[in-house]
Amino acid sequence: MRLSVIIPVYNVERTLDRCVESVLGQDVPDMEVILVDDGSLDSCGSMCDEWADRDGRVHVVHQRNMGLSVARNTGLDIAGGRYVTFVDSDDYLVPGTFLPLLELLDGEQDVDMVEYGVMQECSRRLPVVLHDGVYRSARDYWLDTMAWNHAYACNKIYRARVFDGLRYAADRLFEDLMLLPELLGNIRCIATTDRVGYVYCDNPSGISSTVSVNSLWHLLGAELHALVLMRTMPWQRNAPNLYRAICCRVYDIIRVGVLGISL
């Protein structure tokens, strides 16, 4: 199996078909699509089963609601592909996104992760604009691209082995920012591309839609965790950007938690 695409599913009956169609429409031979129905209360469970009946590449797992991280981990536990990627079920892909990225991975045996750009259909999140580049130092990638600003699970394709011994933290917000620095410890080389293929769509009921003191604390904790794992010192190239982001997070916590100002 060449590629495993893991799609966590929870109460997204309005957008699920669009998401799955965009993935199955990628011109990738030897691909599996793993739909993890995380205890959906709407019609998503039956919609997932219908997709599996319709297309043999689709595999469905139904589980009780345990959250996004556990759903991703469930997919990782059963994925059979040499490469793994994630797509959130309220987002979708531009046609022709995966194949050139997989060809890059096939042709560069030491590249363990390739990251591509994100466009957005809402105003809540900035687009991710990258340039063609190859990074043989995880810290250089982290600092030069300011990767903490786009540490999303979903706009990357990974060699499956980089997840050996690593999984997303359950019951934790910004779990992708927590895990990426650890994944980088298993990665020999990172490639970035100026291709834009992932479309982020606003979900008002999504995990990241509401800014609260609790979510800001989780974000601050993830950024500090990354700072320690990446051994980032203030005098390193581009490191002041990360320290500035952490200071801004503390300021946001004071604004929301102490002054009661909404962000």
Mean pLDDT by 10 residues, the chain (263 residues): 97 98 95 98 98 98 97 98 98 97 95 96 78 95 94 97 96 90 96 96 62 83 86 82 88 74 64
* Short-list 82, 88, 81, 78, CA closest to 7: 88
Q: Name the pTM for this structure.
A: 0.91
Q: Using CA atoms, how far apart are residues 257 and 30, in angstroms rounded to an integer? A: 50
CB 183 within 8 Å of CB 163: yes
| pLDDT attached to residue 125 | 66
| pLDDT attached to residue 40 | 97
Q: Residue-wise over 84-103: b if at least 16 C-beta within 10 A, else e?
A: bbbbbbbbbbbeebbeebbe
How crowded is the C-beta side of 49, counted as CA atoms within 13 Å? 5
* Candidate CATH numbers 3.40.1260.20, 3.40.1360.10, 3.40.50.80, 3.90.550.10; the one for domain 3-200: 3.90.550.10
| pLDDT attached to residue 210 | 58
CB 252 within 8 Å of CB 216: yes
Q: Residue 150, Cβ neighbours under 10 Å: how many?
A: 22
φ, ψ dihedrals at 9, nearest 5°: -130, 125
| pLDDT attached to residue 231 | 84
* Residue boundaries of the structural domains of the chain: 3-200, 213-258
| pLDDT attached to residue 211 | 66
The predicted-structure confidence for 213-256, as pLDDT tens digits, reads as follows 888 888 888 889 888 888 888 878 888 888 888 888 887 888 77
